[in-house]
Amino acid sequence: MTRLRRTLLAGVILLALLALAALVSTAFGAVPLSFRQVADGLTGGPDAFIVRQYRLPRVLVSITAGAALGVAGVFLQAAMRNPLASPDVVGFSKGGGVGAMAAVIFTPPAAQVWTVPLGVLAGTTLTAGALLLITRRFGGGVTALVLVGAALAALAGALVEYLLVRRPQSADQAMVWLAGSVYGSDGADVVTLLAWLAVCLPLTVLATLSVDIAGFGDDSVVSLGRHPARVRAVLVVAAVLLTAGAVTSVGSIGFLGLLAPHIARFAVGSRGTHLVPAAALTGALVLCLADFAGRVVALPNEIPAGIVAVVVGGPYLLFLLVRENVVRENGKHA
Amino acid sequence: MPTADSPPVPVEAAARRRIALGPLPVMAALLVVAVIAAACVGASGLPLARAVHGLFVWDGSADHELVIGVRLPRAVLSVLVGANLAVAGLLAQTLTRNPLASPQTFGVNAGASLAIVLTAAVLPSTGVLGAVPSAFAGAAGVGAIMWFLSLSGAVSAVGLALAGITLQLLLTALVQALLIMSNTTQDLVFWLAGSVTGADWPKVAVVLPFTVVCGVTVLLAARHLGLLELDATTGASLGQNTRRVAALAAALVVLLAGSAVAVSGPIGFVGLIVPHIARRLPGGAGLRRQAVLCLVGGPLLLVCADLLGRVLAFPAELPVGVVTALLGAPVFLLLAVRGRGR
C-alpha cells in the first residue's frame, strides 16, 4: 500500500530529524558540549548536571508541547473545515495566557501548582466557547473566523497587560512566558505535561478517528451514522485540552498549530490516522528547532521560541491567505 | 434663498445648521472638560482646586510646574495623537474601501515601531528626532505592501485585514526580539502597548506640525479624497486624477500614523473605531464632516482612555493602548463578523 509506505517513510525521516535536532539542541548552549559529553552526561558523567537538569527537560518539553500543539491544529482545522484554523491563530493560546496570569495574581503561591493549569484550561475553554458562539451566531467565512480569533486574541492580550500592570513584580517573567518560551523547564514540567497528555490520550485517539468524517458535509456525516455536532465537539474539546496542556508548560507559542498540520499534510496527505502522528512529529520538530534557533541567534541573550515561531509562521499564514483567495477565484475547490 | 414672505424657511435653515454642526459642539465641550480633567487627575493626589489653580495661574509654584510640565503636555499629546490616528484611520478606510482598515489593523503602526526600534538599536544617539523619519520609513514600507495587496485584488476585504494583522504580529515579534537582543526590556510592556506616559513639550512640538498640516490638507482636499470611496472609473469620469489623489491619501496616512507612533508607540483601535462612530453620528455624511468629527472624536477617545487607564489601575498606570484595545477589540469583532459577506 503506497500511502502507508509513504507515511512510514515520512515518519522515519521526521523521527530522525527530531532525534538530530534534540541532540544538537542538547549539545549547544552557553557551555558547548561535544556529542560524547552529552552521551556521558546522560549516563551520569561530569556534565550530568547541565544535561539532566537544564538541557534535557527543555528539549523534552519543547518536543512534547510542540507535538500537542501540532495535533490540536489538525483537530481544529478538521472541526472547522478551515485550513487557517489553529489554536494560536484563533486566540486559544492567548485566552489560556489570561487564565494563567489571573491564577498567578489572585491565588496564593502555594496553590499555584494547581490553579495555573486550571486557569489556563478555563481561559482556553472560555475563548473556544466565545469563538464558537460568535461564528455560529453569525456564520463565518474561512477568513472571518480567523479575524474573530484575532480580535479575541487582542482582547486577551489587553487583559493580560492589565493584569501585568496590576502586578508589575511578576512582569518580566510573565513577558517571556507570554511570548512563549521553554526557558527554565525542569523535570517536573516534563512529567506534568506527559501525565496530562496521557490523560488526554483516549480522547485524542477518538478525535483522530473523527478527523476524516468531519471533513464531509453535515448530511454525509448523518448518512454515515454519526452526529455532526458530536463529531465536531469531540475534535474541539480534544484541541482545547491539548492546547491547555501545551500553554501551561510553554506559554502562548504562536503559529505552531497552524504550521505543523500543513507541513504534515504536505508529507503524508490528509487521512486522519496518518496526518495526526505526522503533525505531532512535525510540531515537535518545529518547536525544538525554534527553541534552538532562539538560543543561538542572539547569544548571550535568548529569544523566546514563540517569537521565532511567529517570524517563521507569519509569512506562511500570509502565503496561505493569498493562496486561499486565488484558489477561490479560480473556481477550484477551496 | 429665504425671503420675507416664506416664514418656514429660516426655521429650516436653523434646523439645517443644527444638523450640519451635529454633535460637534457637545463633543468639543466634552473634549475641553476631558483635557482639564486629565490635567487635574494624577498619582500625586493634588486637590482639584490646587490643580485648577496650577493650570490657570502661572505663578511658578510646584503645583504649576506639575500641571504645566507633566500633566498638560500629556493631555495635549493625547489630543494630537488621537487626532492623527483617527484621521489616518478614516483615510485608510476611504482609500481601501475597507471598513476594517486602520493604521493598526494594516500593520502600519507596527512597521513604524519596528523601524523606530531598529534605529534606536543601531543609532542610539538620535533620540526622538531620529524616531520620526524612521517611523515614516517603516510606515511607508508596510503601507506599500498593503496597498500592493489591495490593488492586486487577490485578497478580499476581510482577507486584507487578516493579512495586515498577520503582518502586525510578525513585525511585533521582530520588535520584541530586537528589544530582547538590545537589553532594553525595562519599558517594553509600555512601549509595545502604546503609551503617552513621559510626554513632554518637545514631543508635542514633534507631532504638532504633522497634525496641523495634514489635518488642514485633509479638510481642504476633502472633496477629492472623498471621491476615493467610489471606484476608480467613476472617480475618473468625475474629472478626478484618481491615482494622484490616492497617493496623497496614502502619504497622509503614513505621515499621520508615523508621527503618532514616533511619540507614543503603536496605540491600536483608535484609528479603527473613531471613523465608524463618526460616520454614524448625525451630520457624519461626506468626508470633510467625518474628518472634523474624527479630529474631535479621536482626541476625546484617547484623552478619556488615558484618564481611564490612570484610574483603573491606580496607583499604577495602564498604558493607554491597553485601554483602547479593551474598548476597541469588541468593536473590531463586530466589524469583522459583519464584514464577512463582502
Q: What is the pLDDT of residues B125-156, one digit of tens each?
A: 666 677 888 889 999 999 888 888 777 766 67
Instruction: Let me know: does A99 contact A124? Beta carbons within 8 Å.
Output: yes
Other beta carbons within 10 angstroms of residue B194's beta carbon come to 28
Instruction: Give the gap in angstroms from C-alpha A314 to the nearest C-alpha of chain B.
Output: 6
CB-CB contact of B188 with A306 (8 Å) = no
Q: Does B340 touch chain A if contact means CB atoms closer than 8 Å? A: yes
Instruction: Identify all chain B residues contacting A304, using CB atoms and an 8 Å cutoff.
Output: 176, 180
Confidence band of B214 (pLDDT split at 50, 70, 90) = very high
User: Which DSSP symbol is given to A169?
Assistant: G
B173 touches chain A (CB under 8 A): yes
Put simply, the answer to whether A152 touches B325 (Cβ < 8 Å) is: no
What is the pLDDT, as a whole number, of residue B305?
A: 92
Question: Are B166 and A321 in contact (CB < 8 Å)?
Answer: yes
Tell me phi and psi for residue A288, to 5 degrees. Answer: -60, -45
Q: Which of the two residues, A246 and B44, has the higher pLDDT score? A: A246
- CA–chain centroid gap for B288, Å, is 16
**Closest C-alpha among A185, A234, A195, A197 to residue A214:** A234
Q: Note the pLDDT of residue A27.
A: 80
Q: How far is B154 from chain A (nearest CA, A)?
A: 6
B77: number of CA atoms within 13 Å, CB side? 30
Q: What is the ipTM for the molecules in this complex?
A: 0.76
More confident residue, B167 or B341: B167
Residue contact A162–B167, C-beta within 8 A: no
Helix axis angle, B270-280 to B72-96, nearest 10°: 70
Task: Rounding to the nearest 10 degrees, give the CA dihedral for residues A206, A212, A214, A220.
Answer: -120
Q: What is the nearest CA distance from B239 to chain A, expressed in angstroms?
A: 32
Residues 6+ apart with CB under 8 A from B252: B87, B88, B91, B214, B217, B218
Which residues lie below 8 Å from residue A229, measured CB to CB, with a gap of 6+? Answer: none
What's the CA gap between B335 and B342, in Å, rounded? Answer: 11
Q: Is B151 on the interface with A (CB under 8 A)?
A: no
Angle at the Cα of B297 from the Cα atoms of B292 and B299, rounded to 5 degrees: 110
Asked if residues B78 and B302 have their Cβ atoms less than 8 Å apart, the reply is yes
DSSP A62-126: HHHHHHHHHHHHHHHHHHHT-TT--TTTTTHHHHHHHHHHHHHHHS-GGGHHHHHHHHHHHHHHH
Residue listed under C-alpha cell 538530530:
A20
* Cβ under 8 Å to B: A residues 154-173: 154-155, 157-159, 161-162, 164-166, 168, 171-172
**Confidence band for B2, pLDDT divided at 50, 70 and 90:** very low
Task: Look up residue B17 and give its three cell numbers.
Answer: 445648521
Q: What share of chain B in percent tops pLDDT 70?
A: 84
DSSP per residue, A190-247: HHHHHHHHHHHHHHHHHHHHHHHHHTS-HHHHHHTT--HHHHHHHHHHHHHHHHHHHH
CB-CB: which of B154, B165, B318 is closest to A165? B318
Task: Note the pTM of the prediction, 2 decimals.
Answer: 0.81
Higher per-residue confidence, B270 vs A108? B270
Cα Rg for chain B, rounded, in angstroms? Answer: 21
Which of A154, A308, A318 is opposite residue B329, by nearest beta carbon?
A154
Q: What is the mean pLDDT of residues B200-214?
A: 90
How far, in Å, CA of B216 to CA of B65, rounded?
32
Residue-wise pLDDT for B306-338, tens only, equals 988 888 877 777 888 888 988 888 888 887 777
The dotted CATH code for B72-341 is 1.10.3470.10
Boundaries of every domain in chain A = 2-329
Q: Is B285 exposed, middle or buried (0-12, 13-18, 19+ CB in 10 A)?
A: middle
What is the CATH number that goes with domain A2-329?
1.10.3470.10
For B290-323, give the secondary structure using H, E and C: HHHHHHHHHHHHHHHHHHHHHHHCCCCCCCHHHH
C-beta of residue B335 within 8 angstroms of C-beta of residue B100: yes
What is the full per-residue pLDDT of chain A (334 aa) written as tens digits? 577 888 888 889 889 998 888 888 888 776 777 777 777 777 777 777 777 777 888 888 889 999 999 999 999 888 888 777 888 888 888 888 888 888 877 777 777 778 888 888 999 999 988 888 887 776 656 667 777 888 888 888 888 878 777 776 666 666 666 666 767 677 777 888 888 888 888 888 888 888 888 877 777 888 888 887 888 888 889 999 999 988 888 887 878 888 888 888 888 887 888 888 999 999 999 999 888 888 887 777 778 888 888 888 888 878 877 776 655 555 444 3
Average pLDDT, integer, range B167-174 = 85
Is residue A299 within 8 A of residue A81, CB to CB? The reply is no
- Above 70 in pLDDT, residue B275? yes
Among A23-27, A319-323, B162-166, B201-205, whose mean pLDDT is lowest?
A: A319-323
Assign B300 a pLDDT band (cuts: 50, 70, 90): very high
Cell 503603536 locates to: B266
User: When comparing pLDDT for B212 and A143, which is higher?
Assistant: B212
